[in-house]
Chain A
Amino acid sequence: MFPELNNLLNTTPDRAEQGKLTLLCDAKTDGSFLVHHFLSFYLKADYKVCFVALIQSFSHYNIVGQKLGVSLTAARERGQLVFLEGLKSAVDIFFRPQEEPHPLQFLREANTRNLQPLYEFVREALKPTDEEEAACRCPVLLVDDLSVLLSLGLGAVAVLDFIHYCRATVCWERKGNIVALVHDSGDAEDEENDILLNGLSHQSHLILRAEGLATGFCKDVHGQLKILWRGPSQPTAPRDRSLTYQYKIQDKSVSFFAKGMSPAVL
C-alpha cells in the first residue's frame, strides 16, 4: 500500500470505511498500481480478500505484493486470501467434466450469458467461518479487471448485474467493500465499455481515475490521478468532492504531488 495515497484518501488500514464500492479506472495509462495498493491495503488491514484476477498470474501479484510488504502466498495459506487465477482457470475449464460448476462457466457455454457462477464463487469464498464471525473480519472483493469480461463476449448488462449482486451480498449484507478496475477506452468508440464504466460510476462511492498526461509521456510524471467522492453522505464539504494529483511510480512506492509541483521541475 502507498502511504501517500492513504493520506489523500484519508484512510488507514485500521479505520477503513465499510460497505463501499470503489471504482478504479484508467485512461491512456496503466492503472494497475491502484489494484496493487488496495490488495496490500486490505491484506494489511486484516480483511478477508477474494481476488478475481483475470489479467495477471498469481506470481506477478505476489512479487509486487512483496515489494509492498505483503506475502500473498502466506495470506492464501492461512485462509485470508481467496485467489481466482483467471488465466489458469480459463484453460482448466475445458479439461473438466461439464457438470461441475465453474466460476468462468460462460467461456464454455454459448447460451448462458451471465456471470451467476462467478457470483456464486465469490459468495462461497467470502462466506464467513465461525472464527471469522467472531473476529468480525470484513470481506473485500477485488476484481482486476472487468473490461476483459467484455472482451470475452459478455454484455455490459451481464457484468453490471454481476457487480449488482456482489454489492447486495458483499457491501450490504456483509458490510464489506468492493474494488474493481475498468479501463476507459477514451476516444475508441466502445459503447459497451462506456455503459459499463458509467453504470459502475453511478453506483460507486469513490472513483479513482488514473490518466496519462495530455502532453504525452514524461519521465518524471507518469500520470494524473483524479479522485471523486460521490454520494450524499460524505463527510467532506462539496468543494472537496474532487481532487486531482499527479504521480510518479517508483520501485516500491508511488509519490503524489499537486499539479505542476513535481520535484523534477521545482
Chain B
Amino acid sequence: MTPSEGVGRGMESVLEMLESLLALGGMVLLRDTVEWEGRSLLKALIKKSALYGEQVHVLGCEVSEEEFREGFDSNINSRLVYHDLFRDPLNWSKTGEALPGGPLEALRALCRRTDPGPVTVALDSLSWLLLHLPCTTLCQALHALSRQDPCPGKQVRVLGLLHEELHGPGPVRALSSLAQAEVTLSGALGQASAHILYRRPRQHPTHQTQWFSILPDFSLDLQGGPLLEPQPQPDPHTPLVDPTNHLTFNLRLSKKEREAKDSLTLPFQFSSEKQQALLRPGPGQATSHIFYEPDAYDDLDQEDPDDDLDI
C-alpha cells in the first residue's frame, strides 16, 4: 500500500472509530493508566461531539477550567459548559462559590437539565467521583443519566474517564457493565493504542484495537502500528542486483532431474526390493567371512550358553 493510500484508508477509519464510539449512545468508558493518559482522547471525543453541533457538559473534578479548555478553538469552547468541581469540591473555603450539594448533587443536576437537543456529558473523572461517593450511588446516578430517552431529540451520551489503577475489580466491573463501549488505553514504543469493546444490544460484544496519536488541536491521527525505526531507503542510483545470478549451486531442477530425484529410493527406506536384495546375496556381493585367531586364554566352548533358555 502506498503511503497516500494508507492515509486515505486511515481517514475513513478515523471517522469510523470516533463515530462508532459516539453513535452508540449510552455510556463510553475510557480506562487509562499513569503511563497512557486518557484525557486527550476524552477531549478528542468532546471535540467531535461539539462539531456535530451538540452541547457538551463537562463535570470537571481534576483539572481547572482553563486547563481543560486549552487547545479547543472558540467554536468548540462556546458549546462547552464546564461545571467546576475543581476549585472547591468539598466546600472548604465556605465562600459560597462551590457547587451546591457537592459532587452528587452536581451529577444529579445534569440528569435534570431541560435544554433541548442531544447532549454529551463528560465526566472528568469517574475515578474522582468513585473515591468520593459510594459505588452504588454513583452507578444509580450514571444509570439515570445515560438511560435512553424514547424521545430521539433528548439523547444523552456519557463519556467517563476512569483511572484503572485506583480501584478494585468490583467497582470497575460495575461501571463497565453500565457502558455500551469501553476503551482501554495502552501502548508500546511510544505509540498509544486503544482497545475498544463494543456492547451493542442483542449482539455479541466486538473488539477492535487501534493505534493512534492525538494532535495538538485534539483531532485524532490513526497509525498502523508502533513507529519502528525508519527503514533506510535503497539508493536509487545503485542498480538492483539479482542475488540468484552466478551461483555455484543449482537453485532449480529441470524436469528430467526432478523425475530422477522422485524415482530415487532413499537408503533407509525399506521396500520389498530391498528386502529381497538383503535375503539373497547377489552375484556381485561377496559373502562375508569372520577370521578369528583364538588367544591362549580363550575358552572355546562350543556349547551355546543360551541353550537352557526356554525361548
Chain A residues engaging chain B, CB cutoff 8 angstroms: 114, 116, 119, 157, 160-161, 164-165, 168, 172, 194-195, 198-199, 201-203, 207, 228, 230-233, 238-239, 241-242
Tell me the smallest distance from the CB of B131 to a CB of chain A, in Å: 5
Closest 10 CB pairs of A and B: A198-B165, A201-B34, A239-B190, A238-B190, A172-B64, A232-B40, A202-B163, A157-B131, A116-B92, A168-B87
With contacts A165-B92, A168-B64, A198-B34 known, is A233 near B190, CB below 8 A?
Answer: no
For A232, what are the chain B residues with a Cβ–Cβ distance below 8 Å?
A: 37, 39-40, 71, 214, 216
Rounded to whole angstroms, the CA-CA distance of A233 and B190 in the bound complex is 16
20 sampled A-B residue pairs with Cβ under 8 A: A119-B92, A161-B90, A164-B86, A164-B89, A165-B90, A168-B86, A168-B88, A172-B64, A195-B131, A198-B166, A199-B127, A199-B131, A199-B166, A202-B37, A228-B34, A228-B35, A232-B40, A232-B216, A238-B190, A238-B191
For A203, what are the chain B residues with a Cβ–Cβ distance below 8 Å?
A: 62
Tell me the smallest distance from the CB of B218 to a CB of chain A, in Å: 9
Tell me the smallest distance from the CB of B40 to a CB of chain A, in Å: 5
For B37, what are the chain A residues with a Cβ–Cβ distance below 8 Å?
A: 202, 230-232
The majority secondary structure among interface residues of chain A is: helix
Tell me the smallest distance from the CB of B112 to a CB of chain A, in Å: 27
Chain A residue with Cβ nearest B191: A238
With contacts A157-B131, A168-B86, A202-B34 known, is A194 near B165, CB below 8 A?
Answer: yes
Rounded to whole angstroms, the CA-CA distance of A172 and B65 in the bound complex is 10
Which of A119, A165, A232, A239 counts the most B-chain CB atoms under 10 A from its CB?
Answer: A232
A232-B40, A239-B190 known; 17 new pairs, CB 8 Å cut-off, are: A114-B90, A119-B92, A168-B64, A172-B87, A194-B165, A198-B34, A198-B163, A198-B165, A199-B127, A199-B131, A202-B34, A202-B37, A202-B62, A203-B62, A232-B39, A238-B191, A242-B35
For B213, what are the chain A residues with a Cβ–Cβ distance below 8 Å?
A: 238
Task: Say yes or no for B132: interface residue by CB 8 A criterion.
Answer: yes
For A202, what are the chain B residues with a Cβ–Cβ distance below 8 Å?
A: 34, 37, 62, 127, 163, 166
| Contact mask for chain B residues 161-197; partner A; CB cutoff 8 A; 1 contact, 0 none | 0010110000000000000000000000011000000
For B214, what are the chain A residues with a Cβ–Cβ distance below 8 Å?
A: 232
With contacts A160-B131, A168-B87, A198-B166 known, is A233 near B34, CB below 8 A?
Answer: no
Tell me the smallest distance from the CB of B194 to a CB of chain A, in Å: 15
